[in-house]
Amino acid sequence: MTSDTGDTLQVRPSAAGLGCHVMAAKADLLGGHHATQIRRLLVAHGVLCFPAVALDDDEQLIFARTLGEVASDWDVSSDRTVNRNERLAEYQKSSVNWHFDGFGVDVPEFATIMSPRILANGSAGATEFANCYAAYQALCAADKEAFDSLRIRHSFETTMRLVKPQPSEAELEEWRKGGPPHTQPLVWHHDSGQNSLLLGASAFRVEGMDLEEGRALIARLNAWITQPRFVYRYEWEIGDLVIWDNTGVLHRAVPYAPDSKRLMHRTTILGHEAPG
């Protein structure tokens, strides 16, 4: 990871309390001159939007490495004429549901970086972000106490059933093999001292609770987290780049036509903290 030179960025926070626009020169980003400040801003604002910075795939990877160790780097699209990997194209259909990256591992990715290569038609394909820190803070004291020790089961099958409710046996086997159920705490007590709710479309069971009662709680809290007051929406333009805090922000793509050719480039930064 590269350190700051001490120069400051031009930052314009959104009125929603989540997200901010950041103006920076491409050369400074690639040189890691603002790396420490960017990580600090990410914790403070959740989502950082760099308009018209125009990084290509290789440059996005270089920039990502100034912020931390890279976990993954690939193109994402649900359009099979654009994404030649049919399995990944099928998986991307679930991206229209609220989720965080890395629900199936002990240490989820710290941050996700994304930029568009081909836009969907009209306003479809925008990305929305939900502030899980603010959602936790807005809970009443009784709920905070009740939720503090709860643990949630997550699975890849749960996310895929939302887009394909009647899968074949082969698809079910593949989903279960690729993403077996994994348990995460409902409340993430971050090393920073902040707390956030950890849910999304992958959540399907509350451990130690009746199945239907648990499902009702999950539905209630997912609706709570994603109410408009906690949500920030970003409308993409070619050349933009967005980074978000994957440990405290849910995200989703606004639904778009599967044949729209929407193509994004996505890079993730390894996490350093297990939820707890």
Whether the CB-CB separation of 111 and 269 falls below 8 Å is answered with yes
For 88-93, the CB contacts below 8 A with 24+ separation are 91/160, 93/163, 93/164, 93/258
β-partners of residue 34 are: none
State the pLDDT at residue 268: 94
Report helix angle 57-67 to 35-45, nearest 10. 80
Alpha carbon of residue 249 to chain centroid: 6
- Confidence (pTM): 0.90
Share of the chain above pLDDT 70, in %: 90
Determine the Cα–Cα distance for residues 234 and 13; give it in Å rounded to an integer.
13
* Mean pLDDT rounded to a whole number for the chain: 89
State the pLDDT at residue 57: 94
Which portions of the chain are predicted below pLDDT 70?
1-7, 75-92, 122-124
Which run of H or of E encompasses 47?
strand 47-50
For the stretch 247-272, pLDDT in tens is 999 999 998 887 778 888 999 999 99
Torsion sign, CA atoms 224, 253, 162, 147:
negative
Give the CA angle between residues 241, 245, 251 to the nearest 5°. Answer: 75
Match 């044949």 to its residue by tokens: 259
**125 φψ region: left (φ > 0), alpha (ψ -120 to 50), beta (else):** left
Alpha carbon of residue 183 to chain centroid: 18
β-partners of residue 195 are: 189
Which residues are CB-contacts of 246 (< 8 A; sequence separation ≥ 6)? 100, 101, 102, 108, 109, 110, 111, 112, 268, 271
In CATH, which superfamily holds the domain spanning 10-269?
Answer: Clavaminate synthase-like (3.60.130.10)
Determine the Cα–Cα distance for residues 138 and 119; give it in Å rounded to an integer.
35
